[in-house]
Amino acid sequence: MGTTAEALRGDLATDRANLGADLEAIGDRVSPKRMVQRRRAKTRQRFRSLSDRVMGTAHDMRHSVSESVSGASSSVTGAGSSIAESARHAPDAVRHTTEGNPLAAGMVAFGFGLVVAALLPESEPEHQLAEKMQPRLEQMAESVGEAAQEVVDAVKPIAQEAAADIRSGAKDAAADVKASATHAASEVKDATKPSR
């Protein structure tokens, strides 16, 4: 015959449960709070992937520093055994210092570059460029020093005047506080005196 009332009720309960789940999923999808959470998660993921591409992962950093140190140590073997020993321990020290801190990683890389640059001999083009730029650098340093002195000379009177204003304001405020405290103390004395 046809479907029984019991089977219809069962189908209806299943349809209700499915419809409830669908409505809940739609509500979750259009909920402003969930939208913000999804956007935050997406932004965090993008930032992590960008950070990994720019700074590399801690594993990549260890590997590249290890290669750089081994390459540098082989080129400076004549510089002494202490440098070689330091270079062997550098990857572990760098890893501990830089994990989770890209600024520290950049600073360590910059310092490492300075050390390597100091150990390598100066090339002829670098020497010529340094000789050529020396007078200009000295002239620029002199002009910057003069400009800084002019700024100091211009700002000094203003700073002295501001300091004097602050001192006088502080004295006035202290006098006001003292007068208020004296007045309050006399009022408290008058209020606590027994009346006759």
Write out 98-134 in H/E/C secondary structure: HCCCHHHHHHHHHHHHHHHHHHCCCCHHHHHHHHHHH
> What distance, in Å, lies between the first and last C-alpha atoms of the chain?
110
Helix (H) / strand (E) containing 66? helix 58-75
Q: Please tell me the predicted confidence (pLDDT) of residue 76.
A: 46
d(C-alpha 160, C-alpha 117), whole Å: 46
Buried b / exposed e along 73-95 (16+ C-beta atoms within 10 A): beebeeeeeebeeebeebbeebb
110, 98 contact by CB (below 8 A): no
CA distances from 146 to 18, 90, 107, 140 (A): 80, 43, 32, 10
In Å, what is the CA distance from 49 to each residue of 65, 134, 147? 21, 43, 45
Residues 192 and 184: their CA atoms lie apart, in Å, by 12
**Angle at CA 57, nearest 5°, toward 53 and 62?**
125
Residue 13 has which token pair?
Answer: 């309960």
Average pLDDT, consecutive stretches of 10 residues, N- to C-terminus, the chain (196 residues) = 80 90 83 81 82 64 59 50 59 59 72 76 77 83 82 82 85 87 82 69
Type and span of the H or E element at 17 = helix 5-30
Q: Residue 144 has what pLDDT? A: 81
